[in-house]
Amino acid sequence: MPQTNSTDIAIVGAGVTGTSILISTIENWIAKEKKGSITIIEKSNFLGPGLPFNPEQPKTLRINDPFNASDIVAQEDYSFFHWLKLENDKGNPEVTVLGVGDKTLDDRFPPRAVYGKYCEWAFKKAVTKAIYHGISIHLLHKTEVVDVLKRDENWELHLNNNMTIKASNLILATGHMPSDHYVEYENTPGFFATPWQDLSHIPAHEAVIVFGSGLSAIDTAKKLHAQAHTGKIYFVSQSGALPAVKPPRHNQTVALQFLKRENVDKPGLTLKEYLHLFQQELNLHTTTPIDFEKKLTTQLDPKSWLEKNIALAEKGVVRTWQLLLDEIYFYSLPYAWKHLSDTDRATLMNHYFGPYLKWAAGTPLANAKEILALLESGQLEIIRGAPQIHTTEKGFELEFSNPPRKIVAKYAINGTNMGHNIDRNPLLNKMRRRKFIAKASQGGIKVDPFTYEVIDPQNEKEETHANLLSAGPTIFGSNPAVYAIEASAFAGRDIGKAQASILPHSLFKQSSKASDTTNLGIGQINRIRCA
C-alpha cells in the first residue's frame, strides 16, 4: 500500500527559492505563534543550494552577484555575511581565506561552493528553529515529485518512492530548466547539454567547443581550466560578446528617475515608450549622449574589451549607465513587463535582453583576468557567428561563412543561458497537460508576478488557483527578473508573509499534521544531507 501523509504546505524544490520560502514561512509562523506542517521535497542530495551552488563544485567558480546582495532571506541572523563571520571566527579555512573584515570581504565574489554551504546552514537553522517551536517539518531529499493530482481542494503529490502526500497548499520552486538551444544534439556522443554536469572525463588534450560567450561559457572555461585542460577551447556565439567586468569592491548606487515604478506601471505601456524613457534616463546620468541601441550591439574584439574593462574594474569604476541597467532589473522591468503586449515582450526578449544581461550581469574581475590569460595564451578563442553544424565520426564540425572557416572538436558543451520551456521539467509537463498550469508567452509558468499565485488555465477569467504558487526561474515568462538570489529572497519574503496571514482559514481547511513517523526530530537534522 502506498504511504500517504498530509501537510499544510508542500514545497517542491529545495534550491535557493524553496529554501527562502521555507525559512520565511517558518519565521512568520513563529512570529505569529502559528503551528502547522511543512513538507519540502528535493530530488538532489542537497537541501539548500539548488543547481548553481552545489557545495562540491570547483572553488574557482564564483558567485556573480556580490556577497551583500546574496542573502537567502533579508534577516540579519540569516545573512550570508553573518554566516561568513561565524565560520571565520571558528577558523574555517574555506572562509578565513576570503579576508572577512568588519563589514566586507577582500573580494565581494566568493566561491559558489562556499555559498552553497551557507544555504545548507540556513536551511538547517530554520528547520531546527521550527521544530523547537512545535512546527512540523517533513524533509524528503533524493526524492522526486513525479505527478500531481487534485482531490477536492487539495493537491495530491506522487513521489518516485511510491509515497503520496496530500497538501492543502502547493508551492512549485522547481528552478532552472535546461537550455532551449542545441536540444537536437543532446543525444549525440561528446555533447554536454549543460556545463553543470561532470566534465572530468573530457580528455585534457582534446579541443572543446563551448556554445555561448556569456557567464555560463566563462564558467565552463574556468571548469575546464580547473581540471587542467590543455586542449583548445572555442567559444562560439552569434555576438561573440563577453559580459562586462565587475570590480571586487565599489559602493556606487544610482536612483531611477524616468524608469521608476510610477512611470512604467501603466496599462497600455508600449516597448517604444519604455525605450524612450530608458534613453531619457541614460541622458540624465551621462555627460556625453549614449546611443544605447548601438552600445548594446557593438563590442570591441574580446581581448581589447577585456583589457579595457579589467583596467576600469581594477580602479573600482562602474559606469553610471551600467548601475542603471542593474537597477532596472528589479525596480522597473517587472512593472513594465506586466503591461507590455506579447509582441513587445517577444521583441524585448529577442532583441534586447541578451545584450542587456551582458552589460548588467557582469563577471567578477578575477574571472575576467582568467579568461584574458586563456585568450592571451591562445588556448581560448572566441568565434563570432552562426555556423552550420555537422556531426561526423570526427565529432562536431562547425562551418562559418564570413570569413570562411571550419573548426572540428570531439566535444561540445552547451554554455548558453538556462531555458524557459516548462515541458523540459517532467513534473511541470504533466501538470501542464493536466491543465493545472499554463505557459506564459515567453516561457515559464503563467503566474501573477506579484503574488506568485499560479493562473488557473481552466478559469475563463484567468483567475489564480487559491492554493498553488510558484517562484524562481520557473516563472520567467511572467517576470523576467527572476535569475538572482535576491529575486528568490523577494519571493520568499512575500510568500512567507502571505502564508502566515492566510492562516488558519484556508491553510488548515482540509489538513492534518504530518505523520510523526516522518517528522524529523532535532537529532536527525544533521543527517538531512546524504553522503
Looking at 7, 39, 64, 299, which residue binds ligand FAD (CB under 6 A)? 64
d(CA 422, CA 169) in angstroms, rounded, equals 21
Where b means 16+ CB within 10 Å and e means fewer, 72-98 reads bbeeeebbbbbbbbebbeeebeebeeb
Least Å from the CB of residue 124 to ligand FAD: 16
Q: Is 402 exposed, middle or buried (0-12, 13-18, 19+ CB in 10 A)?
A: exposed
Signed CA dihedral, 173, 179, 183, 188: sign only = negative
Looking at 18, 36, 116, 477, which residue binds ligand FAD (CB under 6 A)? 18
The residue (of 50 and 395) whose beta carbon lies closer to ligand FAD is 50
Q: With binding defined as CB under 6 A, does residue 41 bind ligand FAD?
A: yes
Least Å from the CB of residue 159 to ligand FAD: 8
Least Å from the CB of residue 179 to ligand FAD: 10
Q: With binding defined as CB under 6 A, does residue 119 bind ligand FAD?
A: no
Q: With binding defined as CB under 6 A, does residue 484 bind ligand FAD?
A: yes
Under 8 Å between Cβ of 61 and 111: yes
Q: With binding defined as CB under 6 A, does residue 42 bind ligand FAD?
A: yes
- Residue count of the chain, please give it: 531
Q: With binding defined as CB under 6 A, does residue 145 bind ligand FAD?
A: yes
Sole window of 88-96, 172-180, 290-298, 333-341 interacting with ligand FAD (rule: CB under 6 A): 172-180
Q: With binding defined as CB under 6 A, does residue 17 bind ligand FAD?
A: yes
Least Å from the CB of residue 210 to ligand FAD: 14
Which residue type occupies 152? D
d(CA 369, CA 245) in angstroms, rounded, equals 9
Cα 475 → chain centroid: 11
The residue (of 16 and 357) whose beta carbon lies closer to ligand FAD is 16
Q: With binding defined as CB under 6 A, does residue 529 bind ligand FAD?
A: no
Where b means 16+ CB within 10 Å and e means fewer, 136-149 reads bbbbbbebbbeebe
d(CA 245, CA 411) in angstroms, rounded, equals 28
Per DSSP, the three-state class of 483 is coil
The residue (of 299 and 425) whose beta carbon lies closer to ligand FAD is 425
Least Å from the CB of residue 491 to ligand FAD: 8
Q: With binding defined as CB under 6 A, does residue 36 bind ligand FAD?
A: no
The residue (of 130 and 173) whose beta carbon lies closer to ligand FAD is 173
Using CB under 6 A as the criterion, what x/- string covers residues 289-308 for binding ligand FAD? --------------------
Q: With binding defined as CB under 6 A, does residue 171 bind ligand FAD?
A: no
Cell output for 411: 566535444
Looking at 9, 10, 16, 21, which residue binds ligand FAD (CB under 6 A)? 16
What do you get for the CA distance between the two ends of the chain, in Å? 29
Q: With binding defined as CB under 6 A, does residue 475 bind ligand FAD?
A: no
Q: With binding defined as CB under 6 A, does residue 52 bind ligand FAD?
A: yes
Q: With binding defined as CB under 6 A, does residue 173 bind ligand FAD?
A: yes
The residue (of 69 and 407) whose beta carbon lies closer to ligand FAD is 69
3-state secondary structure 161-184: CCCEEEEEEEEECCCCECCCCCHH
d(CA 240, CA 458) in angstroms, rounded, equals 44
Looking at 110, 212, 362, 473, which residue binds ligand FAD (CB under 6 A)? 473
The residue (of 227 and 298) whose beta carbon lies closer to ligand FAD is 227
Using CB under 6 A as the criterion, what x/- string covers residues 314-353 for binding ligand FAD? ----------------------------------------
Cα 503 → chain centroid: 30
CA distances from 19 to 11, 13, 69, 104, 139 (A): 9, 8, 16, 25, 12
Where b means 16+ CB within 10 Å and e means fewer, 350-371 reads eebbbbbbbbbbbbbbbbbebb
Q: Where are the alpha helices (DSSP H) in 350-467?
A: 354-360, 365-377, 426-433
CA distances from 265 to 99, 125, 170, 269 (A): 42, 38, 29, 8
Size of the site for ligand FAD (CB under 6 A): 33
Least Å from the CB of residue 112 to ligand FAD: 6
The residue (of 395 and 496) whose beta carbon lies closer to ligand FAD is 496
Q: With binding defined as CB under 6 A, does residue 71 bind ligand FAD?
A: no
Q: With binding defined as CB under 6 A, does residue 176 bind ligand FAD?
A: yes
Binding residues for ligand FAD (CB under 6 A): 12-18, 41-44, 50-52, 63-65, 70, 144-145, 173-176, 418, 425, 427, 472-473, 483-485, 488
